Amino acid sequence: MIVVRFEPSGLRCHCEGRVSLLEAAQKAGVAISAVCGGAGTCGKCRVQVRGEVTPPTPVERRFLSAAELAKGIRLACQARPLSDVVVTTDTFVAGQILTRGVSRSVEIDPAVRKRWIELNPPSLEDNPFDWEDFRRAVGGELGGGAASLSFLRELPVRLRRQDFRGTYVAVEGVVIDFEKGDTAGEVYGLAIDLGTTTLVVKLLNLASGSVEAVASGVNPQRVYGEDVVSRIQYASASSRNRRELQRAAVGALNELIRSVQREAGVARERLYEAVVVGNTAMLHLLAGVDARYLAQYPYVPAFRGPLRLSAREIGLRIHPRGRVFLLPAIGRFVGGDTVGVLLATDFLQRERLTLAIDIGTNGEIVLGARGEAVACSTAAGPAFEGATIKHGMRAEAGAIDAVWLNNGDLSYHVIGGGEPRGICGSANIDVVAILLSEGIVETSGRMLPPQELPPSSSGDLRRRLRMGPEGVEIVLAEVGGKSITFTQRDVREIQLAKGAIATGIRLLLDEAGVKLQEVDEVLVAGGFGNYIRPENAIRIGLLPAVDPDRIRFVGNAALTGAEMALLSRKARQEAVRIAEKVRYLEIAASPHFQELFAENMLFPAADEVPAMWRPPR
């Protein structure tokens, strides 16, 4: 077991076997620009390593100078750790944004307060009351703050055991503990990304702001349905079901919490608060609140939030009187996760028009600048996550995650190397982009059968085309007599998904009365976004036709937003302001929706977009 620690995010990965630093980064949730998907052809995944790693490969010698190698600069896709190493990734744009968000522009001022106090021991002459005397000693920190009954029940014994001295702990003005000794420096909290598919738990030191540990896992609610609607339907059947789903999520979070605790060496009793981001449905399920009307016309969430819960009432294993803060939502399907993205990217303070896109089953899109913004959600469907694609799969070992033209034929990269088992989202986009640029798919989405191809087309590509059971298809790979194909129907799925997002962008631009050319920057959030090739995403019309240099991948900015809200009361207030200030546009209610959706289902013509992506030499 080798520990790879990434700077400056502080994220860590416990690796078994000889993984590359790129794979370790993916596991740790660190976004590293790997344009070629780890094929060793782009040379962009440069990192600086301290610690023992495998010697430079020929690929590295090609991209890096001897001086760079001497400084420990390596390609993450090539170098493999041989012992615990520290990897610095700060040359990467998204990494910088994540870092800037948390460590630079946020003044550390958490809602969790700890301070050493000494009380005068009570005397007969005074008129002492334990709680009121304690509150007076704490001072202005507590507004009209009452004690929880549970704390009040412990206080008298605690005061005397500690000789009327100790460190109080308060969260948002509510006292939750009075600890023996001066423990003011031992103050920790959790930032939690409660994804539909993936859970990430980060343990932060609230005094220094540093990330002490991170762990991620799969959301076990998946067994109740991949999509949130199935889960909501299950949860709505009975309050028993609701509790079951609630406990599933909390149980998995508790395992991750134990894991980060162990790694960071922090006791449960020192974790005072958790800030959670997630979409509206996931936050409802976490709180155990009925979400059935979010899944039925006219789609109404039970709450916007922010919601302040006690850890105990939802079963989260942090301090027994710890608090949980759920980031508020902007609208029914634009939830606390989007608020997190906007918080992390300082969205409302941006001077120039910005478009933020978080691509997932729902594509949440926000457009705005200078304190004004409008947001919408589009039902992109799970195509980009591989679910409705014939040989689609998640971005895990065995998945083809990048495809490119190489001397007139297709080349691809497989995560973890070895034989491919299927194709994941980023490669889906590559394939469609190639088929479009080679004239094999028309702008209407029709895939040409081999006999209709222009004579100029590549013979290698033509040979890969065939008629399958569902119409025309292209064979990407043959593995043990089985073909991995991409079919006409798959093209249609991608069309639907990209059409939904493109329609959302269109409607937001119309709503704001601006043109695409006026957009200064396009922020792409979410784990998926980090692995797509912007040129190809533009080629298929998923991302708008802007200069690829104006596209920035901001990684898991939702989680960054949670970290900021955990570290800073001001950031927390800003999150509340964002939720209230950003207008929600219900695109399904737009009279132009159907018309625009039909229009945006079409792929862009070749002259509407920049040149297609090719792996750099």
Summarize as ranges the residues that interact with its own copies (CB under 8 A).
122-132, 146-147, 149, 152-157, 160, 287-293, 297-304, 307-309, 313, 329, 331-332, 584, 586, 588-589
Closest approach of its own copies to the CB of residue 196, in Å: 20
Considering only the C-alpha atoms of the chain, give the largest distance between any 2 of them, rounded to a whole number of Å. Answer: 104
Asked if residue 278 lies in contact with residue 314, where contact means CB atoms within 8 angstroms, the answer is no
Closest approach of its own copies to the CB of residue 247, in Å: 15
CA–CA distances in Å: residue 51 to residues 15, 48, 88, 185:
15, 10, 12, 30
Q: How many residues does the chain have?
A: 617
Closest approach of its own copies to the CB of residue 123, in Å: 6
Burial track 476-495 (b if 16+ CB lie within 10 A, e otherwise): bbeeeeeebbbbbbbbbbbb
Cβ burial of 66 (10 Å; 0-12, 13-18, 19+) is exposed
Which CB atom, from 164 or from 613, has the smaller least distance to its own copies? 164
Asked if residue 71 lies in contact with residue 48, where contact means CB atoms within 8 angstroms, the answer is yes
Closest approach of its own copies to the CB of residue 572, in Å: 14
Cβ burial of 72 (10 Å; 0-12, 13-18, 19+) is middle
Which CB atom, from 334 or from 601, has the smaller least distance to its own copies? 334
Closest approach of its own copies to the CB of residue 359, in Å: 22
How many whole angstroms separate alpha carbon 496 and alpha carbon 52? 47
In sequence order, what are the residues at sequence separation of 6 or more whose Cβ sits closer than 8 angstroms to the Cβ of residue 471?
Answer: 447, 487, 488, 489
Which CB atom, from 246 or from 485, has the smaller least distance to its own copies? 246
Which CB atom, from 40 or from 328, has the smaller least distance to its own copies? 328
DSSP secondary structure letter of residue 285 = H
Which CB atom, from 300 or from 605, has the smaller least distance to its own copies? 300
Which CB atom, from 14 or from 308, has the smaller least distance to its own copies? 308
Closest approach of its own copies to the CB of residue 146, in Å: 7
Which CB atom, from 69 or from 584, has the smaller least distance to its own copies? 584
In sequence order, what are the residues at sequence separation of 6 or more whose Cβ sits closer than 8 angstroms to the Cβ of residue 493?
Answer: 381, 383, 388, 389
Burial track 454-473 (b if 16+ CB lie within 10 A, e otherwise): eeebbeebbebbeebeeebb
Closest approach of its own copies to the CB of residue 150, in Å: 9
Closest approach of its own copies to the CB of residue 313, in Å: 6
Asked if residue 287 lies in contact with residue 307, where contact means CB atoms within 8 angstroms, the answer is yes
Which CB atom, from 329 or from 596, has the smaller least distance to its own copies? 329
Which CB atom, from 267 or from 300, has the smaller least distance to its own copies? 300
Asked if residue 585 lies in contact with residue 330, where contact means CB atoms within 8 angstroms, the answer is no
Closest approach of its own copies to the CB of residue 282, in Å: 16
Which CB atom, from 104 or from 161, has the smaller least distance to its own copies? 161
CA angle (554 as vertex; 189, 500 as ends), nearest 5: 115
Which CB atom, from 303 or from 453, has the smaller least distance to its own copies? 303
Closest approach of its own copies to the CB of residue 72, in Å: 51
Which CB atom, from 122 or from 471, has the smaller least distance to its own copies? 122
In sequence order, what are the residues at sequence separation of 6 or more whose Cβ sits closer than 8 angstroms to the Cβ of residue 31?
Answer: 25, 92, 94, 95, 98, 527, 530, 553, 555, 556
Which CB atom, from 133 or from 438, has the smaller least distance to its own copies? 133
- Token readout for 346 is 């300082």
DSSP secondary structure letter of residue 417 = S
Closest approach of its own copies to the CB of residue 346, in Å: 24
Closest approach of its own copies to the CB of residue 383, in Å: 25
Which CB atom, from 12 or from 284, has the smaller least distance to its own copies? 284
CA–CA distances in Å: residue 544 to residues 240, 314, 362, 381, 441:
45, 41, 17, 19, 19
How many whole angstroms separate alpha carbon 99 and alpha carbon 107? 13
Closest approach of its own copies to the CB of residue 557, in Å: 23
CA-closest candidate to residue 165, choices 185, 180, 186: 180
Q: Which residues pair with 205 in a beta bridge?
A: 188
Phi and psi of 440, rounded to 5°? -80, -30
- Token readout for 216 is 């991620």
Closest approach of its own copies to the CB of residue 347, in Å: 18
CA–CA distances in Å: residue 15 to residues 4, 46, 48:
7, 20, 18
